[in-house]
């Protein structure tokens, strides 16, 4: 059979054809151009690194954390050589030009793209994604080391260490994870130290991404009346662990051993029986489990014990550890163990962080598609293997410009 050879037509820029494989599939050129226009960051004149290319480049950086800036860009343009010939030189911008282009772009459009696209992807066919018709998600947070510069230190701070301070400044972030697919969404970041920088504070901007039909799991460190109320107002169901010293009177015993109680914003409200929220309380122990706590205490918005029996919810809560697996993928398998975010200024750290989250989303989306085709649980697939496949195939997958065939003519060989 004759082989089809693609030939560049005159006027087509190589930057229009930069290959991003699965990333370009997940984040469309049209969507990126719209966001750049809305944020005023689209390129005002012809550049070797226009804004839409830099947006893709920021995401690709997360796939090659150990490579230099130039090597990452060189990887992306490699696919162009298939189009115009291996003996044609394609210039790769210098490190200083790449840094200037990233600075022009800033972090705001990258976060906007993240917030628009990164969302739960499980379908009813996705194994392990639902409990009795409710999509399972979990809330948690973590930290990431960033480059040791004076500006990053001032902006983000350093965690305390056994002797003085940590070697690197850190950012703190909080995310929701879709348990069945390990997709991290709704992520917010902030400094690791300082007033109002804890996980509970960041969580206020994260729980707004909850939707009706979800069941959100969270650890006891997140509970407060205010955050519970805010999360409940999204119409999602909640199953959160609370501290054992929280006073929860037994107001109504239920047949499955759980009971109804009421939480209040203050002791004054409790005395006057105002602004209360009715919750269902589930208490249990884990016998024969090493290092298990003496008592586990959960509260939930699902008040009907027949819709969700206490024994099932007690077992279900421990699926909250799925977010630990997702964070492990992000911090160890994608970023690399011991690797520090490379950006040297706070704005570029934020940009790099959201690029990292979008790269993780791209890989997880690919894995979800593969799991559906194979009728498997996404947990059965190797995230590290998927990342390696994406890295290998990245230079070989060409993302064509919106003009499509208008920019490329085909000839028979």
| Alpha carbons within 13 A on the beta-carbon side of 133 | 5
The reported pLDDT for the residue numbered 78 is 66
Confidence of residue 233 (pLDDT cuts 50, 70, 90): very high
Higher per-residue pLDDT: 128 or 185: 185
> Mean of the pLDDT values across residues 209-235?
97
The arithmetic mean of pLDDT across residues 189-193, rounded, is 91
pLDDT bin (cut points 50, 70, 90) of residue 73 is confident
Q: How many CB atoms lie within 10 A of CB 269?
A: 14
Please give the full DSSP string across 337-366, using - where no structure is assigned. TT--B---SHHHHHHHHHHHHHHHHHHHHH
Name the most confidently modeled range: 5-14, 25-34, 69-78.
Answer: 25-34
For the stretch 257-289, pLDDT in tens is 999 999 999 999 999 999 999 999 999 998 877
DSSP 8-state assignment for residue 212: T
pLDDT tier at 87, thresholds 50, 70, 90? low
Place 89 in a pLDDT band, splitting at 50, 70 and 90. low
Say yes or no to pLDDT of 253 above 90: yes
Binning pLDDT at 50, 70 and 90, where does residue 20 land?
Answer: low
Q: Are 364 and 179 in contact (CB under 8 A)?
A: no
Report the pLDDT value the prediction gives residue 410, as an integer from 0 to 100: 32
Label the pairing between strands 259-263 and 277-284: antiparallel
Quick one: pLDDT at residue 45?
A: 61
Spatial contact of 170 and 144, defined as CB atoms under 8 Å apart: yes
Instruction: Check pLDDT > 80 for residue 335.
Output: no
Whole-prediction pTM value? Answer: 0.85
Say which residue, 238 or 320, is predicted with more confidence.
Answer: 238
Percent share of the chain, pLDDT over 90: 53
Q: Where are the alpha helices (DSSP H) in 69-219?
A: 69-77, 80-84, 95-105, 108-117, 150-156, 199-203
pLDDT tens, position by position, 381-401: 777 777 776 666 555 444 434
Residue 231 CA to residue 216 CA, distance in Å, equals 9
Distance linking the first and last C-alpha atoms of the chain: 10
- Does residue 333 carry a pLDDT above 80? no
Find the range with the poorest average confidence among 31-40, 58-67, 339-348: 58-67
| Cross-strand bridge partners of residue 138 | 177, 217
Query: pLDDT by residue (tens digit) across 340-380?
Result: 899 999 999 999 999 999 999 988 988 888 888 888 888 88
Ordered domains of the chain (ranges, CATH): 4-113+398-412 (no CATH), 119-327 (3.30.2170)
Instruction: Please indicate whether residue 281 or residue 323 has the higher confidence score (pLDDT).
Output: 281
More confidently predicted of 188 and 389: 188
* DSSP for 300-339, written as a single string: ES---TTTS-HHHHHHHHGGGGHHHHHHHIIIIIITTTT-
The total number of residues shown for the chain amounts to: 413
Choice among 84-98, 243-257, 278-292, 362-376 with the minimum mean pLDDT: 84-98
Q: How, if at all, do strands 237-241 and 214-218 pair?
A: parallel
């Amino acid at each position: 059979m004759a082989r089809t050879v693609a030939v560049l037509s005159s006027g087509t820029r190589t930057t229009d054809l930069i290959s991003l494989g699965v990333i370009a599939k997940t984040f469309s050129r049209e969507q990126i151009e719209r966001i750049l226009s809305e944020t005023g960051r689209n390129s005002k004149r012809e550049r070797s690194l226009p804004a839409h290319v830099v947006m893709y480049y920021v995401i690709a950086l997360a796939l090659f954390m150990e490579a230099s800036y130039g090597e990452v860009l060189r990887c992306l343009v490699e696919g162009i050589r298939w189009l115009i010939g291996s003996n044609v030189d394609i210039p790769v911008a210098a490190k200083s030009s790449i840094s200037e282009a990233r600075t022009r772009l800033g972090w705001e459009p990258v976060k906007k793209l993240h917030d628009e696209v990164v969302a739960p992807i499980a379908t009813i066919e996705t194994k392990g994604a639902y409990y009795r018709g409710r999509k399972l998600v979990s809330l948690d947070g973590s930290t990431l080391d960033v480059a040791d510069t004076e500006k990053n230190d001032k902006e983000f701070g350093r965690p305390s260490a056994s002797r003085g301070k940590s070697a690197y400044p850190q950012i703190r972030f909080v995310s929701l994870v879709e348990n069945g697919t390990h997709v991290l969404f709704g992520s917010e970041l902030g400094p690791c130290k300082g007033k109002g920088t804890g996980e509970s504070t960041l969580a206020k901007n994260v729980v707004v991404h909850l939707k009706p039909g979800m069941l959100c799991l969270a650890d006891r460190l997140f509970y407060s009346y205010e955050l519970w109320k805010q999360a409940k107002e999204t119409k999602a169901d909640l199953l959160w662990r609370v501290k054992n010293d929280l006073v929860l009177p037994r107001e109504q015993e239920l047949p499955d051993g759980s009971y109804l109680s009421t939480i209040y914003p203050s002791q004054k409200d409790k005395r006057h029986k105002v602004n209360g929220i009715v919750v269902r309380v589930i208490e249990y122990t884990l016998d024969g489990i090493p290092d298990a706590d003496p008592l586990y205490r959960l509260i939930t918005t699902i008040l009907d014990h027949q819709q969700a029996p206490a024994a099932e919810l007690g077992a279900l809560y421990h699926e909250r550890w799925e977010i630990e697996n997702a964070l492990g993928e992000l911090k160890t398998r994608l970023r690399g163990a011991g690797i520090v975010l490379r950006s040297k200024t706070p704005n570029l750290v934020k940009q790099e962080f959201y690029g990292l989250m979008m790269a993780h989303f791209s890989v997880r989306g690919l894995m979800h598609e593969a799991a559906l085709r194979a009728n498997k649980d996404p947990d059965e697939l190797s995230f590290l293997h998927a990342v390696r496949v994406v890295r290998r195939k990245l230079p070989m997958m060409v993302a064509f410009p919106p003009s499509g065939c208008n920019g490329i003519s085909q000839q028979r060989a």
